[in-house]
Structure 1
Amino acid sequence: MDAENMSVVVTLDGFESIFKDNYTPLYRYVNSIIKDKELSKDVLSDLFLNLWQQKNKLQIANIKPYLFRSARNGALKALTAQNQISQLPDDAFNIPSDSYNPFERFVAKQSIKIVDELINKLPAKRREMIELRLLGLKNYEIANVMDIPEKNVEYNMREAIEQLSHAVNHSQLDKATIASGLMLINIIFTISQ
C-alpha cells in the first residue's frame, strides 16, 4: 500500500485536494461514456462518497488510475440497454471568446470537430484509450483504468495513431488543420484540469 496516497485520502484536506484535482477530467470521461450531464454528476458523487466512506479500508497504490477505473465502472453500470458510442462532449471544446477573433474561433472549432470525427471512427476500445490519453493519463494508467495489460494499451495506441494517420493521409483534409485541432484539444484538456 502506498502510504503517501492513502494518507492523502484519510484527511479532509487531502480528500478535498483529490476531488479538486480530478473532478473535471473524471466528469469529461464519464460524460463521454454516458452522454448525460446529470447522470455523470451522480456517478461521480457516488464515486467520491464511496471513496470517503471506504478511506480506511481501501488499498490504493495510485489514486489517478483508481479514480478513472472506478469512474469507468460506475459509468458502465449507469448505462442502460444499449452501449452508446463514446465521443467528446460538445462543451469540451469551448474556446474563450477573448482568445480569438470570430473567424479564428470558427476555424479552431472546425479543426476540433474534424479531429473529434476522426477519433469517433476508431473502434470503441481505441477511441476510449485516445480519450484517456487526451485527459492526461499515461499508458500504465490507461491499462489500470481499462483492466488490460499495458502492452495491450501500447499496441492499440500505435494502431489508433496509425489509423488516424491513414485517415488523414487518404483524405482531402488539411494536415495543418488536423494538427491545430489536436493541439487545441490538448491545450483545452490541460487548462481544464
Structure 2
Amino acid sequence: MTIALTDAKSAAAASARAAPRDSSFDDAASDEALIRRIAAKDQLAMRTLFARYRIPLYRWLLRIVRDETAAEDLLSDVFLDVWRQAASFKGRASVSTWLLAIARYKALSARRARSNAELDARIAATVPDPADDPEASLQKKNRSQVLRDSLASLSPEHGEVIDLVYYHGRSVKEVADIVGIGEATVKTRMFYARRKLASLVAVA
C-alpha cells in the first residue's frame, strides 16, 4: 500500500482518513465488492470500508478494552489486517461479522496482555530487594504472603503452572515437559490461573 507514512501499523486507517471519498462509489459498492477491490490493493475501496465501519468497530473495541487510546490503536491494527488479508476473505460470514471477529480477537489479546503485565508487576512487587528498608521489606513479605495464600487456593493443575513459571522461572516449553502436557494446554492453564489469581489478589 503506497502511503506516505512511516508507521506501517496505522497505514491502512490513516489512508482511509486522509483522502476525500467518492460518494457514488460508496453507494454502489457492497461490502463484498469492497473487499475484492481491497484484495487488489484499491486504496479508494479501503477508504470507503474504513468510513463505513470506523465508528461501530471503534465502539466495539472501546467496550472491550475500555481505553480510548488503545481502541484507536487497535482500530488501525484491524484495518491493517484487512488490507493485508482481504484476499483470504471467503465469504462464509458477512464482511461486518468478519471485521468484528478480527476486532474482538485483537481487543481480547490486548486486554489479556495488559492484565498479565499488571499481574506480573504485582508479583514482581513481592520479590525482596536488598536495598529495601525494614518497612518496605515487611510490606513485600505481606504482599508475598497474600499472593502465596491466593496461589494455594488455585486448583493443583493451575497452581503448579503458576508456581513453575513465576517461582521457578520456567518457560512454557519447560513447563510442558515437566508436567507432561502440551504447550497449548500450559498456556490455557496459565490464562485461567492468572485470571483467578488476579481476582483473589485484588480482594485480599
Which TM bucket (shorter chain)?
A: 0.3 to 0.5
Greater relative contact order structure (CA < 8 Å, 6+ sep): 1
TM-score scaled by length of structure 2: 0.36
Higher alpha-carbon Rg: 2
TM-score scaled by length of structure 1: 0.38
